[in-house]
Amino acid sequence: MLQICELEAGYGQYRVLHGISLHVDEGEFVALLGANGAGKTTLMRAVTGLIPKAAGSVLLDGRPLADDPADIVQSGLVLVPEGRMVFPRMSVRENLLMGATVPRAHAARTRQLEMVLSIFPRLGERYAQLAATMSGGEQQMLAIGRALMSLPRMLMLDEPSLGLSPIMVQETFAVLKQLHASGLSLLLIEQNVVASLEMADRAYVLENGRITLEGGHAELMGNDRLRQAYLGL
Amino acid sequence: MATVLVLQAALQGLAIGAIIALIALSMTLLFAVCGLVNFAHGDFLALGMYGALLLAGVGVDPYLAAPAVLVVFVAIGALLFVVLVRPVQRSGLLAGAQLTLGLVFILENLMLIGFGGTHQTVRNVLSDRNLSLGGLVLPWQLVVAGLITGVLAMLLNIMIAHTSFGRHIRAITQNPDAAALMGVRINRVQMTAFALALGLLGLSGPLIVGQFTLTPDMGLDYTLRALIVMVLGGLGNFVGSFIAGLLVGVGESVATLFFGGAIGAMVPFGLLLAVLLLRPTGLFAQR
């Protein structure tokens, strides 16, 4: 489904990603693990077209992805950005409608809105409320709901557990499992290693702008380096 | 009798306030979607008035000239964005300020070359006609200009608040990265905003030209007022700019009645000082 080949990107002269290659198959749930500063968010910004790629390519269904963020969303690759980035002075309703901006999603917005509100009933209760006045957990639900409004064929999430209470993290991850079960392809970027490995089919480990490990749950949990670096075992 | 005078001044101020509000709103639009403070805003308004002067020379009434100038200004706005604003946009706020300050000098001197430095006036079909209502006497052209700009300002606010284009504008203001991730084509929205903002100036110029004496350097005064209104209303706040515009108009007009023109002209600046001291985020600050 998604294939990233030898991707390099950075800011100005400063290169952050040194040739990232990874892939997510149709219907697969892949986790990308890495500490702060490993390059996770830069990778997401490069894949979604917010910053230019210095080298390498990103393919969706075997076809090269466009450069313009709007075209990328239209083709079905959608990101829930780090820090949620909901529109603070818009209501829940308006935030969700913002998700249905591209033509493909706009045409299906009524049906999709029902679907999102059935996954997140809380958003229905807060429908007219300004996003800024909601809790972090509710804002994360809104960010995911808004991304679902874009009709993703593949959803990427950049540290959705950041700053959430343990209960909200559990709730968020439960939603991800539910979306995975419904057939959506997922790329989850996390520092929360144990929980991510439990949910995901496969995982990559990103360190200093390079992929250093790759494998399934059992493989990675049995890997001494990973256990040392992230679990302190 | 005194109440009638105050009422008259207030109504006159309201009409002038509506004009100022529309100019400030179109300035706010550029600030909100491009982060650009357009110091040449008043000069473009002046250019719109000279456009009416030019057409009046061939016998076209300013009211009929307004739609034509509007169309030309929409094109100028789009062109301005593509040719000048977009290339410097990534270089930050200061580069944008330098660009529009440069435009001030270019526009003022082009108008000086084209139309000369003498004071000129343009008459329209409503010149010298007054609306008498009870004891009130208001120039018809001020009533018409105030009504049209007031309605346009309200329409602009409704568009920003309730249409999907308005929602995209607010999304870019609140978080441009998130807007791009939702599929908003930021360049396209910015270009449309430029065309719309300049178009509003092109429409306003001919509508209000009958009230003013034209000189090539008249623009800066309007830029200043619009800037003051923009800050009073809270930077980037559309409803705030609208209300602040009306406030400045009425305040100046009523103060002029009681204390004379010198004091009246100080009102916008006094309001600005007071607001900056007491409520630096503007009268209608948003979180």
Give the residues of chain B that fall short of pLDDT 50.
Answer: 287
Q: Is A90 on the interface with B (CB under 8 A)?
A: yes
CA geometry: angle at A142 spanning A141 and A148, to 5°?
Answer: 90
What's the confidence (pLDDT) of residue B128?
Answer: 85
Domains of chain B: 2-278 (1.10.3470)
Which DSSP string do the residues of A58-85 spell out, in sequence order? EEETTEEPPSSHHHHHHTTEEEE-TT--
Greatest CA separation for chain B: 61
- Are B228 and B248 a contacting pair, CB within 8 Å? yes
Give pLDDT tens digits for A162-211: 989 999 999 999 999 999 999 999 999 998 888 888 899 999 999 889 99
Q: Is B187 on the interface with A (CB under 8 A)?
A: no
**Chain B CA closest to residue A46:** B181
Q: Is B175 on the interface with A (CB under 8 A)?
A: yes
Q: Per the CB < 8 Å rule, is B182 touching A150?
A: yes
What's the confidence (pLDDT) of residue B35?
Answer: 87
Rounded distance, CA A181 to CA A186, Å?
11
Rounded distance, CA B94 to CA B91, Å?
8
Q: Is B286 on the interface with A (CB under 8 A)?
A: yes
Rounded to a whole number of angstroms, the distance from the CA of B23 to the nearest CA of chain A is: 24
Q: What is the pTM of this model?
A: 0.90
Nearest CB partner across the interface for A81, out of B171, B181, B183: B181
What's the confidence (pLDDT) of residue A224?
Answer: 77
**Chain B CA closest to residue A145:** B182
Rounded distance, CA B170 to CA B175, Å?
9
What's the confidence (pLDDT) of residue B286?
Answer: 63
What's the confidence (pLDDT) of residue A34?
Answer: 86
Side by side, the strands of the sheet bearing A202-207 are A77-80, A154-158, A185-190, A29-33, A202-207, A210-216
Pick the residue of A87, A91, A142, A156 with the most B CBs within 10 A to test the interface with B by mutation.
A87
Q: Which of B166, B12, B190 is nearest to B89 (CA)?
A: B190
Q: Per the CB < 8 Å rule, is B177 touching A87?
A: no
Strand A202-207 to A29-33 pairing: parallel
Query: What is residue A52's DSSP assignment?
Result: -
Calculate mean pLDDT across residues A47-72. Answer: 94
What's the confidence (pLDDT) of residue B1?
Answer: 55
Pick the residue of A51, A98, A146 with the most B CBs within 10 A to test the interface with B by mutation.
A98
Average model confidence (pLDDT) across chain A: 92
| Beta-carbon pairs below 8 A across chains A and B | 64
Q: Which two tokens stand for residue B82?
A: 């593509």
Q: Which two tokens stand for residue A13?
A: 């002269």
What's the confidence (pLDDT) of residue A233?
Answer: 52
Rounded to a whole number of angstroms, the distance from the CA of A91 to the nearest CA of chain B is: 11
Give pLDDT tens digits for B15-53: 999 999 999 999 999 999 988 999 999 999 999 999 999
Nearby residues of B272 by Cβ (< 8 Å), 6 or more positions away: B228, B231, B232
B-chain residues near A150 (CB < 8 A): 182-183
**ipTM topping 0.95:** no
Q: Is B185 on the interface with A (CB under 8 A)?
A: yes
